[in-house]
Structure 1
């Protein structure tokens, strides 16, 4: 893959578009965007926009190393206030909304509730750093219709995946799901960290069917996950290769957006962009993003330490 970088200047916004915009492009897509002036690209109105946050990760605990728990409420409140000033279809939190303890939900959700746009939540490993009795209640607590689901907006299909379907933490000990997860880890993924997870076979078949329908209807698709797939990294899903094989055979699949790796990451493979947002938690400076959707690209406008990207969309 060829990577090109260019300066993109535009009107100052609370998302920081006055900073240098980093372009991440395929060589094949470069000509189309290069023909436009930077100002024209910056001033073009998107079809729609969304907000995205990864790893806000609140706990009523003393700070520990990079985990600046005491800053989480103020940083989330500031992001919510910023998003409320913008026209957004929705905002997604990409997992690890809390760090631990069931009581953290009641302390932190009121901050999120001030958002004037719809929320969509993704399940991460820390959502389940709670007692077993409450684990079946997590999705409902976050207002999720199910642990994984899909919805449409502006002729895009958005798929909320559950990377805890196979995991050591996502199910009560002794449950069939826990037993299945631990057996799979022992047999197939013993070298993978137990703080990661995997997508179970039933969910993977469902993702395949969702993307096949999007292909048939000529839609574009973005998938949300807590856990990365690519580039290779210790934070990736146990069965990342199998999941990539499924999504990359569908022309509708354009972007996989995730968190979990607090440093962030990016890679492109087989025409799909794999973007890992930086964690909001880790530094005094915040991190979140607005994603602007155009016919031929998704523009990621980062705030705080989150970099900007332009993601050209394969035909």
Structure 2
């Protein structure tokens, strides 16, 4: 009886209603995202399929919370994995958007640099998510209430560091390239896609910053599973929904890129465009 009484309460009705609203909103967004993914084709392979995979994670997470609304609000594998996957998908989607912008514009001679940046950022984000998910797994009686507070903190720091400095720098440098290609037929498409990545970027940073804050100061009100409704509404649902909407709108208005020159001709195309502006 004592053990039963020590269990946390079921989620509040506000949290259940939020899960229902989230499920409906993502279902509405999912349809155009499928079409956007198809229209972007090969150029968007590092971005839009990852974004598509974000939606099933949210569907499973929300449906599970709704189905278990009368049970104690205890962290479980489903919620932990879908939460980590959601953060990873949105982070990798923004990275993929930047890469696509570079792919639909003439590339400079050292075009392999873009692929290296893509690979390094993907690897770092994946490693950070893995560390934070494993280290942040709940464990009763452990410091901070998690399996390994150190791994959790290292993982969240790694993700935020890579996104803030690595991806932030790439976003800035790509913006400079876009503005230097105003005569290129893909300028408007690339500009719209880059603008969407810029708009989504700070909201994803806030979401990552919240995860980092909680890893160092695990106050009960900030708990991503059993914290306050305000925490879930603003720092989790709000940030991720804004990113998803901005990315969807950006994807919609960046359809129609003209195929670039064959890889062997891109260096020459870049040189010709550079000379024409001098």
Q: Which has the larger radius of gyration?
A: 2
Structure having the larger proportion of residues in helix = 2
Instruction: Please give the TM-score of this superposition, normalised by the length of structure 2.
Output: 0.30
Instruction: Please give the TM-score of this superposition, normalised by the length of structure 1.
Output: 0.27
Structure having the larger proportion of residues in strand = 1
